[in-house]
């Protein structure tokens, strides 16, 4: 490496730092993190107080001054790596052989030496990540690097090495494989970050910061969320539910301040000679509204409906009755599978698919058929106190949308809302019957967790 191992390179004078800092802030803002000028000034003061000698201190200092919540950290770290890189250019010296690199990686993994793993990631990307024909290579690919180095195949070797040294004995030995897996995962992340940095050097930092850094979990589109992001979203269910519950409770408290109950005020005034000293307010009966969820769980939108089901189930205490129905082209009740507090997010989707009767002759979703069957079989689940949420993309696969069934549900229920995970611009394209349904019931775009929590807070009955 061309620079001292811990410092920041490529920044020398004061204006350089200021520019770097403001473009870092701009990149973070582009990812929806709200940062005011005041915070930027604080960050600059932090840089002045900490100096540029230790990069990790600088990272923590900037995070403390610029960020406001832990959810923003996964966005901040890669952006920071781009604007305050550990080194610039390529490492010095000849590229090591693949086997030599793997040997050294194995011992680094065995020793859990993060600093060494970082240096090895740099070497690996340099030696095996470049593609294209020009000498400096046209681009850098973390995928290609990992494909050639294959760190996952080192598991058995590292395990044996640690065992041979007696570094792990007794009970904790059974944890060893998982620990090594986590270390390998950390190495992969390092390689990805390094490849991104090299690409950014080539193509301009600002563009890469905007494009190649994943957004915060609550802004990820449900329909395009990867496996890791879905897992992260599911972990977000509990805290989100708790926040929504306190918000609902606060709304309920406010709603409790009612008008004067004349009869009870007069009766109370008898003890003070007919002078109403204490007005008695009419207490509103705590309305415990019922909730009916109608979820499309077909492959295309299942991530979305799973998440919503879990969220509503976590809000369970707030409602007298929650009933959940799932459908693909037939409808079945799945309330029982969502026992409160025990809902296992991982297996929920597959369990619903396995245990409920959701498909008839074919496996693709049919809104008309499912809604018709719901109105017919479970019509009594919907009453004047219930609010119905329909979750789905309203793509009918060219079959009849069965608007009569929706009308029937609407007449029975207190409110019907439709949450659609597709962007509003694509409603009505192809086989989407969204505009037809939207004409009958209130339809909202609900593409990510942020929109969902806003909608739930607004639409859920008090």
Partner 1 sequence: MFTSVDDVAARLAETGYLASPAVATTVFLADRLGKPLLVEGPAGVGKTELAKAVAQVAGARLVRLQCYEGVDESRALYEWNHAKQLLRISAGRDETWDETRTDIFSEEFLLPRPLLTAIRGDDPKVLLIDETDKADVEVEGLLLEVLSDFQVTVPELGTVTATRRPFVVLTSNASRELSEALRRRCLFLHIGFPDEELERRIVRLKVPGLDEALARSVVRVVGALRAMDLRKLPSVAETIDWARTLIALGADTLDETVVRDSLGVLLKHQEDVLKATAKLDLDAL
Q: Which residues bind partner 1 (CB under 8 A)?
A: 34, 36, 38-39, 42, 45-46, 49-50, 54, 56-57, 60-61, 63-65, 67-70, 73, 112, 170-172, 174-175, 178-179, 182, 235, 239, 242-243, 246, 341-342, 345-346
Beta strands 331-333 and 321-327: pairing type? antiparallel
CB of 257 to partner 1, least distance (A): 15
- Whole-angstrom CA distances from 225 to 43, 364, 394, 420 are 32, 21, 19, 16
CB of 177 to partner 1, least distance (A): 10
Locate tokens 């989707």: which residue? 349
CB of 185 to partner 1, least distance (A): 11
Residue 232, both tokens: 């992260």
* CB of 71 or CB of 441, closer to partner 1: 71
Q: Per residue in 291-327, is it b (16+ CB within 10 Å) or e — as a string?
A: bbbbbbbbebbbbbbbbbbbbbbbbbebbeebbbbbb
- What is the DSSP annotation of 386-440? EEEEEES--B-TTS---HHHHHHHHHHSSEEEEEE-S-GGGTTSTTB-HHHHHHH
* CB of 5 or CB of 398, closer to partner 1: 5
The answer to whether 168 touches 176, Cβ cutoff 8 Å, is yes
Dihedral sign computed on CA atoms, order 310, 312, 313, 314: positive
* CB of 175 or CB of 260, closer to partner 1: 175
CB of 349 to partner 1, least distance (A): 15
* CB of 42 or CB of 221, closer to partner 1: 42
Beta strands 386-391 and 415-420: pairing type? parallel
CB of 342 to partner 1, least distance (A): 6
* CB of 240 or CB of 370, closer to partner 1: 240
Kindly give the residue spans of alpha helices, DSSP state H, lying in 51-92.
Answer: 55-66, 73-83
CA distance 297 to 59: 42
* CB of 337 or CB of 405, closer to partner 1: 337
For 303, what's the count of Cα atoms within 13 Å in the CB-facing half-sphere? 22
CB of 187 to partner 1, least distance (A): 16
For 271, what's the count of Cα atoms within 13 Å in the CB-facing half-sphere? 6
* CB of 2 or CB of 350, closer to partner 1: 350
CB of 398 to partner 1, least distance (A): 40
Locate tokens 């990790």: which residue? 56
CB of 83 to partner 1, least distance (A): 18
Give CA angle at 65 (63, 71), nearest 5°.
45
* CB of 38 or CB of 384, closer to partner 1: 38
């Amino acid at each position: 490496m061309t620079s001292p191992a811990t410092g920041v390179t490529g920044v020398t004078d004061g204006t350089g730092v200021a520019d770097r800092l403001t473009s870092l802030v701009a990149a973070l803002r582009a990812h929806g993190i709200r940062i005011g000028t005041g915070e930027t000034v604080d960050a600059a003061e932090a840089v002045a107080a900490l100096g540029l000698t230790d990069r990790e201190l600088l990272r923590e200092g900037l995070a403390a001054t610029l960020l406001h919540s832990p959810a923003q950290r996964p966005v901040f770290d890669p952006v920071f790596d781009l604007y305050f890189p550990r080194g610039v250019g390529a490492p010095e010296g000849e590229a090591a052989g693949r086997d030599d690199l793997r040997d050294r990686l194995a011992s680094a993994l065995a020793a859990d030496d993060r600093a060494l793993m970082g240096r090895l990631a740099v070497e690996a990307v340099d030696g095996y990540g470049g593609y294209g024909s020009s000498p400096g290579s046209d681009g850098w690919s973390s995928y290609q690097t990992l494909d050639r180095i294959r760190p996952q195949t080192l598991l058995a070797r590292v395990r044996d090495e640690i065992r041979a040294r007696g570094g792990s004995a007794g009970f904790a030995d059974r944890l060893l494989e998982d620990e090594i897996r986590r270390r390998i995962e950390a190495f992969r992340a390092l390689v990805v970050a390094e490849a991104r940095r090299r690409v950014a050097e080539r193509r301009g930092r600002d563009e890469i910061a905007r494009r190649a850094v994943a957004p915060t979990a609550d802004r990820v589109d449900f329909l395009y969320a990867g496996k890791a992001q879905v897992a992260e979203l599911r972990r977000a269910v509990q805290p989100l539910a708790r926040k929504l519950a306190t918000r609902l409770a606060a709304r309920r408290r406010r709603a409790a301040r009612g008008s004067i109950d004349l009869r009870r005020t007069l009766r109370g005034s008898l003890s003070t000679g007919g002078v109403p000293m204490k007005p008695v307010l009419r207490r509103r009966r705590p309305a415990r509204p019922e909730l009916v969820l109608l979820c499309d769980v077909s492959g295309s939108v299942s991530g979305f409906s799973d998440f919503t089901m879990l969220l509503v189930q976590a809000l369970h205490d707030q409602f007298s009755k929650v009933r959940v129905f799932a459908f693909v082209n037939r409808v079945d009740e799945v309330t029982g599978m969502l026992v409160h507090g025990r809902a296992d997010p991982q297996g929920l989707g597959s369990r619903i698919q396995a245990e409920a009767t959701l498909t008839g002759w074919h496996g693709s979703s049919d809104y008309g058929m499912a809604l018709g069957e719901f109105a017919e079989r479970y019509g009594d689940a919907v009453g004047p106190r219930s609010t119905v949420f329909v979750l789905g993309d309203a793509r009918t696969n060219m079959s009849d949308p069965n608007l009569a069934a929706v009308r029937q549900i609407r007449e029975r229920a207190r409110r019907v809302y439709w949450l659609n995970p597709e962007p509003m611009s694509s409603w009505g394209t192809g086989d989407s019957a969204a505009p037809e349904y939207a004409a009958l019931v209130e339809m909202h775009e609900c593409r990510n967790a942020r929109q969902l929590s806003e909608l739930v807070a607004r639409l859920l009955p008090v």
